Chains A and B, each alone.
Chain A
Amino acid sequence: MSEDLRDAREVFDLFDFWDGRDGLVDAYKVGDFLRCTGLNPTEENIKKFGGTKNQGEKQLPYEECKAIWEQAKAIKDTMTHKDFREAFKSFDREGQGFISAAEMRHMLNAMGDRLTDSEIDDIIKYTDVREDLEGNIKYDTFIEKVMEGPPGV
């Protein structure tokens, strides 16, 4: 058994412990499960692999979770700092390295794997990004923080 697979097994056990120690993990936790193994799938992929949106819909035994994990592992994460900056640049009308905070909120709220307002508030808090007087943020530092990954694990 590879080291990675062993890690995944332990994460499954941890989730199972919290789920009632019955050998099954609720499918709505698939996303979190994968993230705790170090993978970072999109919401769309999570659903494709078998995750559900709501609690109580489906219960997955280890074998199924393992299969989902293997699928998720196969997908390569290809975005680099450069790609990121390019994307932000398109919002940066004045080319000064700033983007309006409101626009970023809108972007996170309306596109991709949408986030709620309170989740966006959290992001601002965790990355310690500050709006200037005109409501803009310097996106370079923000990108750096995000690429750095979540702290402490």
Chain B
Amino acid sequence: MASVTLSEAEKVYIVHGVQEDLRVDGRGCEDYRCVEVETDVVSNTSGSARVKLGHTDILVGVKAEMGTPKLEKPNEGYLEFFVDCSASATPEFEGRGGDDLGTEIANTLYRIFNNKSSVDLKTLCISPREHCWVLYVDVLTGKRVGKVLHASLQSVVHKEESLGPKRQKVGFLG
């Protein structure tokens, strides 16, 4: 994530403030910043969302395609994640710089959504062992990348699946 250099006095000020439950912008330690979510921003996807949290701006698109289920899980569909930390976010991501962060975030997303209680993969099955829905989730980061993981989680859960027998899933991860 973006690194910030601060002087000793500033660090001391912030730490003392946090000890008294007052952040620099007046929030308490557990208060959230204003999050802005826009859905349906990309027209050629099944569902998309744009999340703005502070200086971080994330765009997520979800496309549903037919595929074959994985051998070890014949009754479930699956998700594929791709996170692109593009050079237009910050100069640090120029060239291959953003790839490491991108793969790290993608791996974390895989682990999170591997859980039955986040997304029920059984609903993505069409006919066992033959066909299933594969959801390709693409995350694009723009502007400064402070809380990418957090914001992309919110976006992904905000997508709409309106294909086939699946229900609409719109949720908000706080």
> Is B one of A's binding partners?
no
Residues of A within 8 A of B (CB): none
Residues of B within 8 A of A (CB): none
